[in-house]
Amino acid sequence: MDLGLKDKIIIVTGGAKGIGAAISAVLAEEGAFPVIIGRNEADNLQHLAHIGKGGQVTAELTGPEACQAAVATIVNQYGRIDGLVNNAGINDGVGLESGSYEGFMQSLHRNVVHYYLIAHHALPYLKKSKGPIVNITSKTAETGQGNTSGYAAANGGRNALTREWAVELLPYSIRVNAVVVSESWTPLYESWINTFADKENKLANIVEGIPLEKRMTTPEEIAQMVTFLLSEKSSHTTGQLIHVDGGYVHLDRALK
C-alpha cells in the first residue's frame, strides 16, 4: 500500500533511540524524510546512517529556546514541515513521597512541555501543509505505575493535548492523534528492568500479563501505527488515543 508519504518532511523528536528510532526507520522505508531532533548528535547521525535517509538537529528539548531554534533550523534547511511526531521523553521516577517540586517540574519539561513548544513553533508550517501530529504517550496516565508522578502527569497532559489540539486545529484540517505505549522493549525499558533484584522474574510476570500472544509490543509495531496515522490513508481520523499494546490496558487481566 502506498501511504503517500514520499519525500514528506516529518519531525521525530527523540528519533534516534528506542521507539523513536523505529518510527524514523519505518518513515524512511515508506519514502518519507524523517528529521530527528535529539540531544546526542553522534546517536542521531549513527541512526541516519543506518536508515539511509533523513536529517537531524541536535537539541536539548528541555530548553524552550532550543525548541524554537530546532524548528527554525529545519525550516531553513528544508523549507517546510509536513508532519510531527512528538516522542522524546523519559520515565524518570519522580514520585510523590520521594520527589520534590524541582524534580516534578523538571519531569514535566522533559516529557510534555516540549510537546507543546515543538508543535507551537511548527504550527505555521503544518497549517500550510495540513500536516498531521502524532503524540507518543504512555499507559501510566491511565493505569498508574507508582513512584512516577512526573511522568504520569506528563502523559495525562499528552493525552489531553491530543484531544485539545484536534479540536483547535479542525479549521486547518490538521489531524492530531496519539499512540499509547504499554510494554515495549527499548533501551530505557531495559534500564528500568535492570533496577529490580530479580529482573528475569519481573520481566516474565509482565509478559505473562500481556493478553495477545504473551509478548511485548515491538517498537516497529508502534512505528507502523504512527506511520499510518501520518499518512493520507487515515484522512478522517483525529482526536484518537490508540493503544498499540496487545490488549494490555483494556482487556481483562484475568485472561490466561
Question: How much is the average pLDDT of 146-161?
Answer: 97
Question: How much is the average pLDDT of 96-119?
Answer: 98
Residue 256 has pLDDT above 70, yes or no: no
- For the CA atoms of 151, 45, 216, 248, the dihedral, rounded to the nearest 10 degrees, stands at 40
Q: Give percent of the chain with pLDDT exceeding 90.
A: 95
Question: How much is the average pLDDT of 120-129?
Answer: 98
Dihedrals φ, ψ of 130, to 5°? 55, 40
For residue 102, how many other CB atoms are within 10 A of its CB? 9
Q: Does domain 9-182+219-243 bear CATH number 3.40.50.720?
A: yes
Dihedrals φ, ψ of 198, to 5°? -110, 70
pLDDT at 1: 79
Domain edges within the chain: 9-182+219-243, 184-216
pLDDT tier at 99, thresholds 50, 70, 90: very high
Least confident of 2-6, 60-64, 120-124, 192-196: 192-196
pLDDT at 255: 79
Dihedrals φ, ψ of 150, to 5°? -65, -50
pLDDT at 49: 98
The residue to which cell 507551537 is assigned: 120
State the DSSP string of the chain.
Answer: ---S-TT-EEEEETTTSHHHHHHHHHHHHTT-EEEEEES-HHHHHHHHHHHT--EEEE--TTSHHHHHHHHHHHHHHHS---EEEE---------SSS--HHHHHHHHIIIIIHHHHHHHHHHHHHHHHT--EEEEEETHHHH--SS-HHHHHHHHHHHHHHHHHHHHTGGGT--EEEEEE-SB--HHHHHHHTTSTTHHHHHHHHHHT-TTTTSPBPHHHHHHHHHHHHSGGGTT--S-EEE-STTTTTS-TT--
Q: Give percent of the chain with pLDDT exceeding 70.
A: 100
CA distance 54 to 146: 38
pLDDT tier at 23, thresholds 50, 70, 90: very high
pLDDT at 195: 87
Question: How much is the average pLDDT of 35-56?
Answer: 98
At 201-253, the pLDDT tens digits run 999 999 999 999 999 999 999 999 999 999 999 999 999 999 999 999 999 97
Question: How much is the average pLDDT of 59-63?
Answer: 97
| Distant-in-sequence, close-in-space partners of 160: CB < 8 Å, separation ≥ 6 | none
Active-site choice (115, 125, 151, 189): 151
Let me know if 151 is a catalytic residue: yes
State the chain's mean pLDDT as an integer. 97
Residue 68 has pLDDT above 80, yes or no: yes
pLDDT tier at 96, thresholds 50, 70, 90: very high
